[in-house]
Amino acid sequence: MACDTIGPVNEGRRVADGTAAVPVTAATSADCGPPAYGSDFLQLDAGDAPVGGKADWLARRLRQAIADGQLAMGSRLPPTRVLAAELRVSRGVVTEAYRRLAEDGHVEGRRRGGTVVVAAPLLQPSVPCGTRPCRGPAPVVANRAVPGTLFAGEPNADVFDALRATRARIDFTPGQPDLTAFPRAAWLRAERAVLAELSAENLGYGDPRGAPQLRRAVATWLATSRGIRVEPDEVLIVAGTAQALTLLHPVLRADGIDSVAVEDPGSLGTRQHLQNGALATPPVPVDDGGVRVDALRATGARAVLLTPAHQFPTGVVTSGERRRELLLWAKDGGLIMEDDYDAEHRYDRPPVAALRSLLADRVCYMGSVSKLLAPALRIGWVVPPPRYRDALTDAKRFTDLGNAVLPQLVLARLMESGDLERHLHLLRGRHRRRRDAMINAIAEHLPGAVVHGASAGLHLTVTYASEVPDTELAAAALARGVKCQPLSWHRQMPGHPGLVLGYAATPSGAIAEGAAALGEALRELA
């Protein structure tokens, strides 16, 4: 039998087993050199490979090594030329095996960094053979969570960190804008203009409430886009809604508030932030009109956190009648915390005024540029009721003395120049096309599923009639390289299973591929 070639590879020609056709020379003929004894790397022995299936054999062995921990997260695979020489197989065999692992999400090519392992096993819930098809473990990227626990049990405080660290071919994480669309050129222009005009005084400690230029720009932005008439001195610049909630914790407790009612379903992340501040979070059901005010009154909570313009995750817009009920509740002594997280992104409906524009004394309004520009900027704002303004300013002062000034001034320039508004118009067109692609793909691959909240925002929610738990479906989707969030993560009360799917950061072709994988996973589990 002729020995495997290790000579020059003709990358343009391949045979059925993935090997490349190469000329047989004196250096590669059957009667030359010693036989292949295998590689020190994982003690691989090419003699174990079936005839005509070396690439499949090698890919399978590498997957198993990743699954059982021999190849840990961050391990670097040998260069294809080196491993091919050690195994005495063609380089095309190794290249094809690596390609298959990359498609599966097990490894990632990093140019000069080589091919690196980015996956670890995701252990499926054990199901007795005979009731469902038996399946082995499927891979996801290792993270701080123990492999296999990402979708098991109640989500921990670091579940979003773990999910972000998990690599996937297709990312349907909700709330993520298209970061490739960040207006780099406009940002650079604004930054150069700011630096050219910046005085030495601006480089010192600033106002803890935020740069006056940005507070003026935000006040104008809120007046024109959200119907909120405020003075710049009423605006407090913060590091996003997350910091706004953290600053509010002691302020609320000082006012005798130890419980903040939350929508159900409603944002798990927001609920975690409130609970981290030792605030109870009684759930209030959401229906087609928004949060049920009768149920809100029944909780006895003096404060409620709402997303009225585009409820997360259902996408419901709070109706006019429900708004009137909420305002009556607030006038009786209640506090509305309004999280206006993605109101700028709307496609098939007119704009909805913020609750803050209707009852300034009883609404604490929060917004940011995380969904409009990028979460990494960590810039947001709070417009609190007058009675909380000084306490929040003190909380901000003693937390960090205020946000970094330079990014604030750059953002103010973008707002004043109209560049931010132009960027928003660009995003709306792109997001609408991707939203349409998601709806069409769900109709094709998940027939019978119901789409919720598609008229605005960066995500939609899908519910389905099957009894398959949505955590199982999310785990099976991740095993196929598709990342999303189960609807049950965002519930405290029982409800229909579903998935929360972000589409803004995913090209249309990948959206169709991801929806197809979701359909396959649901059919297999059902």
50/318 Cα distance (integer angstroms) = 63
For the cut 90, the answer to whether the pLDDT of residue 139 exceeds it is: no
Separation between Cα atoms, residue 63 and residue 71, nearest integer Å: 9
With beta carbons less than 8 A apart as the criterion, state whether 214 and 434 touch. no
What superfamily does domain 158-180+423-525 belong to in CATH? Aspartate Aminotransferase, domain 1 (3.90.1150.10)
**Average per-residue pLDDT for the chain:** 86
Residues 282 and 266: their CA atoms lie apart, in Å, by: 11
Q: What band does 68 get if pLDDT is binned at 50, 70 and 90? A: confident
The model's pLDDT over 208-221, given as tens digits with 9 standing for 90+, comes to: 999 999 999 999 99
Mean pLDDT of 264-271: 96
pTM for this model (two decimals): 0.73
Q: Return the domain boundaries, the chain.
A: 46-117, 158-180+423-525, 184-418
Selected from 3.40.228.10, 3.90.550.10, 3.40.640.10, 3.90.1150.10, the CATH number assigned to the domain covering 184-418 reads: 3.40.640.10
- What does the angle CA 44 – CA 45 – CA 49 come to, to the nearest 5 degrees? 110
- Which residues are CB-contacts of 308 (< 8 A; sequence separation ≥ 6)? 290, 291, 317, 318, 323, 326, 338, 352, 354, 355
Average pLDDT over residues 480-499: 95
Is 526 or 9 the better-scoring residue by pLDDT? 526
Classify domain 46-117 by CATH architecture.
Answer: Orthogonal Bundle (1.10)
Contacts of 462 (CB under 8 A, 6+ apart): 442, 446, 449, 450, 451, 452, 498, 499, 501
